[in-house]
């Protein structure tokens, strides 16, 4: 069996998702701002925000400026593929790619995160610790497991 | 700047907050990007080649399914490289890179086994109050790592 060689594109670039979940700023507004300051960075406007691709320093600079538009409602994440890659683009797959289900889930809690970012921006807040008991919620306690094992042995 | 492994490795909120407060998030996209941008044999969609499950043998035994070993070839090096880790315990992401429960258990085990790095255990917030606690605990954790600068 012969295998084709793979020649990568966009080598040395980074791609980032920019999600906007704001009552005041739409993805279109954010895209216009991004075009204004893009300086050669490739920008793709999407329904949830943007995808930006470029050299790491240029992308970092762009993200830093974009965050200023609405700091508590803009969320940024790395992406492995460049935008429109035929292996991942939904135009070729015939449906949402797996990663979108994760984004969909986390989009539901972004309003709580935004609230947290707004509260913590002004200074430290007293942190209500996630107690051990809560982390173990729903799990089988060790004592109960031992009891079951002992009962089985009888 | 510390390298912070995030679990789930595809998490938007964790990736954002680690980067926001000046550290480097280590997630699935970083490892995938490395493969996508490296010339090799064509192996779509993720450029995972037969070499990857072999690399995964460092973290998982040979009788473990290739899916686990292949995923460990992505996550294993980042777990070893990490200076800190954040784990969301009730993440129920069962698709894509996080679609293998056994791998997820192994990743959490390996992170907890590394006693030399600080680790933050949290849960997804379900209300505003928990959202504030969620963000504040991550911010406090990242500030304690030092060397961060606001992005």
Q: Minimal Cα–Cα distance from A63 to chain B, Å?
A: 8
Report CB contact under 8 Å: A77, B16. Answer: yes
- pTM for the full predicted model: 0.88
Q: What pLDDT shows up at residue B88?
A: 93
- Residue A66 is assigned to a structural domain of this protein: yes
Q: Does A55 touch chain B (CB under 8 A)?
A: no
CA atoms within 13 A on the CB side of A127: 15
pLDDT tens digits, A8-18: 989 999 999 99
CATH number of A58's domain: 3.30.70
- Residue A106 is assigned to a structural domain of this protein: yes
Those residues of chain B that have pLDDT short of 70 are 93-96, 149-151
Q: Minimal Cα–Cα distance from B23 to chain A, Å?
A: 13
Chain A residues in contact with B11 by the CB 8 A cut-off are 102, 106
DSSP result, A99-130: HHHHHHHHHTTHHHHHHHHHHHHTS-------
Q: What pLDDT shows up at residue B47?
A: 87
The domain tally of chain A equals 1
- Residue A81 is assigned to a structural domain of this protein: yes
Strands (E), B58-151: 84-88, 119-122
Q: Of B19, B37, B93, which is closest to A8 when you measure between CB atoms?
A: B37
Report CA-CA distances (Å) from A105 to A68, A108, B94: 25, 6, 11
Element housing B105 (H / E): helix B101-113
Q: What pLDDT shows up at residue B91?
A: 82
- Residue A142 is assigned to a structural domain of this protein: no
Report CB contact under 8 Å: A113, B30. Answer: no
Those residues of chain A that have pLDDT short of 70 are 1-2, 127-135, 154
Q: Minimal Cα–Cα distance from B135 to chain A, Å?
A: 5
Chains A–B, number of C-beta pairs less than 8 Å apart: 159
- Residue A64 is assigned to a structural domain of this protein: yes
Q: What pLDDT shows up at residue B151?
A: 56
Q: What pLDDT shows up at residue B9?
A: 93
Q: What pLDDT shows up at residue A72?
A: 95
The structure tokens 């990743």 sit at B107
**Domain span at A34:** 14-121
pLDDT tens digits, B125-138: 999 999 999 999 99
Q: What pLDDT shows up at residue B59?
A: 95
């Amino acid at each position: 069996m012969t295998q084709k060689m793979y020649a990568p594109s966009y080598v040395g670039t980074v791609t980032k998702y920019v999600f906007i979940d704001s009552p005041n700023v739409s993805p279109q507004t954010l895209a216009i701002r991004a075009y204004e300051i893009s300086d050669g960075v490739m920008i793709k406007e999407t329904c949830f925000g943007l995808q930006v691709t470029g050299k790491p320093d240029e992308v970092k600079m762009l993200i830093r400026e974009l965050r200023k538009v609405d700091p508590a409602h803009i969320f940024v994440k790395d992406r492995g593929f460049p935008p429109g890659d035929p292996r991942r683009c939904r135009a070729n797959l015939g449906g949402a790619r797996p990663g979108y289900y994760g984004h969909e889930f986390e989009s539901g809690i972004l309003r709580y995160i935004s609230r947290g970012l707004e509260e913590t921006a002004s200074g430290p807040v007293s942190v209500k610790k996630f107690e051990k008991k809560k982390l173990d919620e729903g799990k089988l306690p060790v004592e109960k497991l031992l009891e079951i094992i002992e009962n089985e042995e009888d | 700047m510390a390298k912070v492994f995030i679990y789930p490795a595809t998490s938007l909120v964790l990736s954002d907050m680690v980067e926001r407060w000046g550290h480097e998030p280590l997630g699935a996209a970083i490892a995938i990007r490395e493969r996508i941008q490296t010339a090799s044999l064509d192996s779509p969609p993720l450029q995972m080649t037969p070499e990857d499950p072999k690399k995964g043998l460092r973290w998982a035994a040979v009788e473990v399914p290739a899916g686990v070993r292949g995923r460990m070839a992505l996550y294993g090096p980042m777990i070893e490289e990490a200076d800190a880790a954040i784990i969301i315990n009730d993440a129920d992401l069962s698709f894509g890179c996080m679609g293998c429960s056994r791998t997820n258990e192994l990743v959490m085990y390996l992170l907890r086994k590394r006693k030399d790095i600080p680790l933050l255990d949290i849960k997804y917030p379900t209300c505003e109050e928990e959202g504030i606690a969620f963000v504040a605990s991550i911010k406090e954790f990242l500030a304690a790592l030092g060397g961060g600068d606001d992005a």
